[in-house]
Amino acid sequence: MRKEDFQSVAANFPDPFRLILRDSVASTNDELQQLAKDGAPHGWVLLADEQTSGRGRRGNSWCAPGRENLTFSILLRPNEAKVLWSRLALASGLALAESLENFGLQAGIKWPNDIWLNGLKVAGILVEAGADFAIVGIGLNVHTTEFPPEIAASATSLALAMGEPPSRPELLATIIRRLAIRLRGIGAEFPKLIQAVNQRCVLSGKRVVLQTAKGPQSGIVRQLGVGGELLLETRGGIMPLIQADEVRIVEP
């Protein structure tokens, strides 16, 4: 990683975003959480060249080899009520999708926290809340062209999707600019944010199976509701889901 490249673009981050660089960390989320507990301010962005023990949702691993991808976390101390912080995943996902669209890609959002290109996962988002802060972790596959066997059939990268991807500093700067705009939408402007997410939702109209707190469910996804919930049409009617795991599209 050429740190001067990242620091050059970071000088033009919108306020209050500031960049911290690390050569290697176990987890950018864990590292930034500790800084948050020590009093780090809203807007700090921790970027690691290498992540050795990163986490996805449900405890899945997300490891980032050095100098290939973008792995970073953002510290937020939102002014909005904490009950609204769950919307940060959708706001971040929309910002990330819009950033990729800025480079000519057609990105889709797979509720609740994945970004797709051509039906494959290119990025993931993990939001974790502390007592008075939230951490938004983002992993974006940029240069990787070979994946572990267990995810090879479901993962992609910008290099695979477009040949020659933009530089990582350029990507990071674009994402932070879009985040600065979209993170403001978790309050009164959330209906506009949901409308934009629905336009990119890859699950709409698809039959899915998923895991909920009440067990497995299946049905057809209609769209996201006004609160960001997934509206699943089942034999018993429309089921609004605030959270679900292992959302998988199945053939009719």
Token pair of 188 as six digits: 């009164």
Helix axes 168-182, 88-101, angle to 10 degrees: 130
- Per-residue pLDDT tens, the chain, 252 aa: give them: 344 589 999 999 999 999 999 999 999 999 999 999 999 999 999 999 888 876 655 555 555 566 789 999 999 999 999 999 999 999 999 999 999 999 999 999 999 899 999 999 999 999 999 999 999 999 999 999 999 898 899 999 999 999 999 999 999 999 999 999 999 999 999 999 999 999 999 999 999 999 988 899 999 999 999 999 999 999 999 999 998 988 999 976
pLDDT of residue 1: 39
Phi, psi of 34 (to 5 degrees): -65, -40
Domains in the chain (CATH in brackets) are 3-200 (3.30.930.10), 207-249 (2.30.30.100)
Whole-model pTM: value is 0.92
Q: CA-based Rg of the chain, rounded to a whole angstrom?
A: 18
Q: Smallest Cα–Cα separation from 110: which of 247, 250, 252? A: 247
C-alpha–C-alpha distance, residues 46 and 58, integer Å: 22
Could you tell me which residues come within 8 angstroms of residue 145 by beta carbon, excluding any fewer than 6 positions away? 157, 159, 160
